[in-house]
C-alpha cells in the first residue's frame, strides 16, 4: 500500500496533530516502561527540526468516555521531556478552550501533550463532531500509532479524512517491516505461532497456512492439535471441542503445501512452578502421559526440528511463545529458537519479524529483541494484520 510520509513536507509553522501510543505501563502514577515513549521520538524530532508545532494525541487505559483522574496522561510529561531533552507542555483536555489555548501558545518546535482522548465518548465512537473538534487544533495529521490502527476511532481514523494525513516514522517502520514479512517476503517463509488457545487464533492460522512454507505451532494450542490427531496429552491444557477445527486447519495447510511442525516430544511436570520436577516424554497415540502430566514446553527433538526449519527459511514471522517461558525451565525452547533466529537475522540470512505482547516479553527475556529485523510493540493490530485484515488507521493513510 502506498502512503504519505513526512519526507519533503513543508512543516515550518504548521500545527501537527500526532497520534502516538502512550498507553504505557504505570505504577502509582509513575511510568515503569518508556519503550512506547522512545518509539515516538523519531517522529517528534523530525517535526521539531522541520519547525512544526507538535501536538500529541494519545489514550491511556479504558476510561470509557469519562474523565478518570487515575487515567490522566499527565505522568507521561516528565519522562517524555527527559527523553526529548526539551520541555513538554500539557493541556487538561484534548478539545475545547483548554486545548486551543495551549496549542495557540506554542512556538515552532514546541511540544504539547493533550489529555487522554478517551475521556470523550466521541473518540471510540469515531464521532464526526469530536473528530472535527480535534482537527480544529491542527494543520496536518500524523499517525504514528500502529498499535491503535486496528481501531476506527476519531484520533486514529476520523482525523485522517479531515486533514492532510501522513504516516509517522514508527508507523513507516512498522508497515515496511510487515510488507517484508508477509506482503512481498523472501521465501521460504516460516511462521511460529504459540499461545494458549486455538480459538483465539483461528483467523491467524487460517490466513497463515496459505502463505507459509513452514508453520511451527507451540504453546497450549499445540496440545489441541495433537489431541485432534489422537495423541495422549495427559492433563494438559486443551480445547477438545476445537478438534474438528484443528484437523481442518491441518488439511488446509497440506493442500497449500505448508509443512506444519507440531511437538513430537514435550517437557512435562505435575505443576507449573520454578524448580518443579520435570521429564521429557515422546508424544504417542498410545498415550505416554498420565493425568498428572501437563505439557509446559516442547521437547528437544521438536526444538531441533524448529531450529532446522528456521535455518532453511529466508523470512520468519513470530507470534506467541513455544512454552510457558515465564517459568524456568519451560523457557528453553522459546529462548533457543529466539537466539537462533536472532543470530541469522544479525548476519543478514533471515528477515525476522515478531510481535504481540507475550512474544516481545519472551524476546526481551532471551536478550535478542535488538537483533531481530523488527519487533512490533503492537499487540492487537499486529495480530489482525497477520490475520489478513484491513486496519482502518492504516487504510485511512492510503494515497
DSSP string, 265-324: EEEEESS--TT--EEEEE--SS----TT-EEEEE-HHHHHHHHHHHHT-SEEEEES-SS-
Q: Is position 183 annotated as part of the catalytic site? A: no
d(CA 34, CA 315): 29
Torsion sign across C-alpha atoms 124, 129, 130, 135: positive
Is residue 331 within 8 A of residue 363, CB to CB? The reply is no
Is residue 88 within 8 A of residue 77, CB to CB? The reply is yes
Residue written as cell 507470534?
A: 319
Q: 321-354 burial string, b = 16+ CB within 10 Å, else e?
A: bbbbbebebbbbbbbbbbbbbbebbeeeebbbbb
Q: 61-77 burial string, b = 16+ CB within 10 Å, else e?
A: eebeeeeeeebbbebbb
d(CA 363, CA 65): 35
Residue 267: strand pairing partners = 280, 297
Given the residues 173, 197, 252, 389, select the one marked as catalytic: 197
Q: Is position 46 annotated as part of the catalytic site? A: no
Running DSSP on this structure, what letter comes out for residue 33? -
Given the residues 14, 36, 226, 332, select the one marked as catalytic: 36
Given the residues 252, 380, 388, 389, select the one marked as catalytic: 380
Given the residues 109, 232, 235, 357, select the one marked as catalytic: 357
Q: Is position 158 annotated as part of the catalytic site? A: no
Q: Is position 197 annotated as part of the catalytic site? A: yes
d(CA 325, CA 39): 26
Cell numbers representing residue 351 in the block: 528477515
Catalytic residues: 36, 197, 357, 380
Amino acid at each position: 500500500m502506498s502512503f504519505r510520509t513526512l519526507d519533503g513536507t513543508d512543516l515550518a509553522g504548521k500545527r501537527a496533530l500526532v497520534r502516538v501510543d502512550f498507553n504505557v505501563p504505570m505504577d502509582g502514577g509513575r511510568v515503569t516502561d518508556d519503550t512506547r515513549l522512545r518509539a515516538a521520538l523519531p517522529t517528534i524530532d523530525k517535526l521539531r527540526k522541520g519547525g512544526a508545532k507538535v501536538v500529541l494525541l494519545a489514550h491511556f487505559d479504558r476510561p470509557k468516555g469519562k474523565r478518570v483522574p487515575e487515567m490522566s496522561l499527565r505522568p507521561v510529561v516528565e519522562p517524555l521531556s527527559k527523553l526529548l531533552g526539551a520541555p513538554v507542555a500539557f493541556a487538561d483536555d484534548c478539545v475545547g478552550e483548554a486545548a486551543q489555548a495551549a496549542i495557540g501558545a506554542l512556538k515552532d518546535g514546541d511540544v504539547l501533550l493533550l489529555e487522554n482522548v478517551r475521556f470523550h465518548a466521541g473518540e471510540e465512537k469515531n464521532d464526526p463532531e469530536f473528530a472535527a473538534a480535534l482537527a480544529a487544533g491542527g494543520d496536518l495529521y500524523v499517525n504514528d500509532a500502529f498499535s491503535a490502527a486496528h481501531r476506527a476511532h476519531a484520533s486514529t481514523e476520523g482525523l485522517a479524512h479531515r486533514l492532510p494525513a501522513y504516516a509517522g516514522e514508527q508507523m513507516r517502520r512498522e508497515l515496511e517491516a510487515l510488507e517484508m514479512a508477509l506482503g512481498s517476503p523472501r521465501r521460504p517463509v516460516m511462521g511460529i505461532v504459540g499461545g494458549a488457545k486455538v480459538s483465539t487464533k483461528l483467523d491467524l492460522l487460517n490466513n497463515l497456512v496459505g502463505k507459509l512454507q513452514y508453520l511451527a505451532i507451540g504453546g497450549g494450542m499445540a496440545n489441541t492439535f495433537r489431541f485432534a490427531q489422537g495423541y495422549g496429552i495427559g492433563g494438559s491444557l486443551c480445547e477438545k471441542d476445537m478438534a474438528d477445527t484443528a484437523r481442518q486447519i491441518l488439511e488446509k495447510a497440506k493442500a497449500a503445501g505448508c509443512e506444519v511442525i507440531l511437538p513430537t516430544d514435550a517437557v512435562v511436570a505435575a505443576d507449573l512452578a520454578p524448580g518443579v520436577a520435570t521429564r521429557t516424554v515422546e508424544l504417542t497415540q498410545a498415550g505416554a502421559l498420565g493425568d498428572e502430566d501437563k505439557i509446559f514446553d516442547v521437547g528437544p527433538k521438536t526444538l531441533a526440528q524448529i531450529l532446522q526449519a528456521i535455518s532453511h527459511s529466508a523470512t520468519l514471522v513470530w507470534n506467541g511463545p513455544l512454552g510457558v517461558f515465564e517459568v524456568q525451565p519451560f523457557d528453553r525452547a522459546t529462548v533457543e529458537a529466539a537466539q537462533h533466529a536472532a543470530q541469522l537475522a544479525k548476519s543478514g540470512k533471515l528477515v525476522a519479524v515478531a510481535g504481540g505482547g507475550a512474544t516481545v516479553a519472551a524476546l526481551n527475556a532471551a536478550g535478542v529483541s535488538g537483533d531481530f529485523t523488527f519487533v512490533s510493540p503492537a499487540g492487537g493490530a499486529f495480530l489482525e494484520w497477520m490475520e489478513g485484515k484491513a486496519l482502518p488507521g492504516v487504510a485511512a493513510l492510503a494515497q
